Structure 1
Amino acid sequence: MPPENFTDKPNVEARLLASLNLLDAAEACALLRIETDDPEGAMQAMAREDGVIALVQHGRTMLPLFQFDLTNSRIFDVVRAILKLRSARISNLRLCYWLTRVHVDFGCAPAQRFGHEDAAIVAAFRRYIEPVRHG
């Protein structure tokens, strides 16, 4: 017998992942013009070095499209700056949530302003991660 409060609704992580345009590792390597026999390994290595935001979906490395400068076949510089600032308590999933939700400073999601308002995005992220101090 199922629990009384059982629901078929997807969990928060699944809903967020479904709302993002994601590339698999092979697509990301092709976009970045990286030739490799191991695209998963290449993207995971970039993620470990804080060079790219990587998520795991169904056991596969997936990369949010918003971080790619499609015109110049590269990762936006602001992505690396944000990844260097964030603490370990902020997961890539939580970071994606912050980057893709409307922000009062921009009137849109910060990710929509990549390449245009990078300094303002980094400043907003600094405020977001600042510890709350009372007293």
Structure 2
Amino acid sequence: MKIKSLFDHINHITSKQTKGYWDSLNEREKKQWSNYMINRFLSMKMEWTDFVNEIQKLKLDSYQLYVVYSSILPKGKQYLKYIKKKKGTIYSKQVIQTISEYFQISKSESEDYLNLLSKKQIRELVSKYGYANKELKQMGL
């Protein structure tokens, strides 16, 4: 018999909701349950975001969370679009380092700044550090 995964648990909470599901799970399947990930996936449905946020403040154990969600959520197939983190950055390490030094912030914060600044603004800031036009073009600016 196939071990139930996190997605099986989410599917059960939202669409099946049969009584005795939790009791039918073995220890290995119960370990696949993660309150954090269950809350994260369920909060992807905009209508449920506030509700899930309130529930996760309660610090329930796995069984209690299962009971709450399977009792309250409407029964039916739900589309839960998972939002993934963006991969990488389009700017070179030199540009990130320069922005980090200019604003005196961490490299991860400088990547956020780069997403907010226009290409022209970034070019002006980086050029203040003495980079020539040729070097700026190599950096993608």
Q: Identify the TM-score tier after normalising by the shorter chain.
A: under 0.3
Q: Which structure is higher in RCO with an 8 Å CA cutoff and minimum separation 6?
A: 2
Q: Which has the higher strand share?
A: 1
TM-score, scaled to structure 1 = 0.26
TM-score, scaled to structure 2 = 0.25
Q: Which has the higher helix share?
A: 2
